[in-house]
Amino acid sequence: MLKLERRQSAMAAFMLLMAIFSLKPALTWAIVDVHDQYYAAPEAEVLSAWSFDFSGASGNDARQDFAIETHNLWRSEQRTWMLIGRYARADSGGSDTADNRFLHARFVNGLTKRSGIEAFLQTQQDRFQKLDRRHLIGAGYRFERQGDDESRLLFGLGGLAERERYVGLKTTESNYRANLYMTAEIPVALAVPTSFSLSGYLQPKFDDFGDLRSIAVARFKTQLTDALALDITVAIDHDSNPISGVDAQNVRYSSGITYTFQR
C-alpha cells in the first residue's frame, strides 16, 4: 500500500507540473531533457545509448526526416560523467523544415547515497528557432530517491549563466537564470520490461522571474531486447519571452529505436 501511495504521489506531482506548464503561452528548444538515460542500467560503469528516428516519402508527399541522439555515462562509486548530443534535420517538398544541434556535458559528484553536487556545460544551435548559438555553464545540488519497486525520483536546484545570439542580430545577450528540475521513472507491469518517465525543467531569470523558460517531457519506453528499446516521447516547450518571429508555444512528439551498449 505504501509503495502504491508513493507512486500515486509522484504521478500526481508531475501531472500537476505538466498542467501548470501547459497553461503558460511559451516555447523554446533551449531546454532539453538530459536525464532520460540517467537511470538506465545503474549497475553498469559505462553506458552508451543511441536513438535513431527516420521517416520519409516521395511522390505526392516528398519529405525526409532524420534525427540521431546519444547519451553516454561513465560511472564510479561517487562520480558520474555524462555526455549528450543530438542532431536533427528535416525537409518537406525540397525546403528545410528542421536543423538543430545540441551538446551537453555534466559532472555529478555524490555527497551522500541520495544527494550530490553537479556542474554542466552546454552548447546548441537551432536555425528554425532563429538561435544562432547558445552557450551556458551552470552548477547545482541534486537529491535522488529510489523506491523498493525500482521507481526513482530526482530533484535538482541550481543556477546557470548563458550567452545567446540569434540569427539577424549582431549583439550577443547574457543572462543569469535559476535552474530547477524534477524527473521520475516508474516501472509499468507489462509482459515485457516497460517504464514511464516524466520530467520538468524551469529556468526563470534571477532579475525577472516573469522571463521563464520551461519544458515538460513524458516518455514511454519498452525494452525489446537487452540492447534494443522502443520509446515514445511527448514534450511541451515554453518561453515566456520568445524572439520576434518565433512561435511562443510548441508540442513535440516522436518515436524511435534506442540501442544501448553497457559494461
124 neighbors 133 (Cβ within 8 angstroms): yes
Mean pLDDT of 30-48: 76
Of 92-96, 132-136, 159-163, minimum mean pLDDT range: 92-96
Residue of 250 and 103 predicted with greater confidence = 103
Whole-number Å distance between alpha carbons of 3 and 150: 10
pLDDT at 69 over 70: yes
pLDDT at residue number 51 = 84
3 neighbors 105 (Cβ within 8 angstroms): no
pLDDT bin (cut points 50, 70, 90) of residue 2 is very low
pLDDT at 29 over 80: no
Top mean-pLDDT range of 52-66, 153-167, 233-247: 153-167
Instruction: Write the CATH number for 240.
Output: 2.40.160.40
Mean pLDDT of 67-83: 91
Tally of domains in the chain:
1
Q: For residue 236, count other CB atoms closer than 10 A to its CB.
A: 21
Of 135-149, 209-223, 237-251, minimum mean pLDDT range: 237-251
**What is the pTM assigned to this prediction?**
0.78
pLDDT at 85 over 70: yes
Residue of 120 and 213 predicted with greater confidence = 120
Mean pLDDT of 87-105: 79
pLDDT bin (cut points 50, 70, 90) of residue 142 is very high
224 neighbors 217 (Cβ within 8 angstroms): no
**Three-state DSSP class for 186?**
strand
Structural domain for 10, as ranges: 2-262
| Structure confidence by residue, pLDDT tens digits, 231-247 | 888 888 888 877 766 66
pLDDT at residue number 34 = 76
Residue of 238 and 59 predicted with greater confidence = 238
Mean pLDDT of 95-111: 86
Q: Tell me the average pLDDT of the chain.
A: 80
pLDDT bin (cut points 50, 70, 90) of residue 118 is very high
Mean pLDDT of 140-151: 87
pLDDT bin (cut points 50, 70, 90) of residue 20 is very low
Q: What is the residue-wise DSSP string for 54-118?
A: EEEE-TTS-EEEEEEEEEEEEE-SSEEEEEEEEEEEEEETTEEEEEEEEEEEEEEEESSSSEEEE
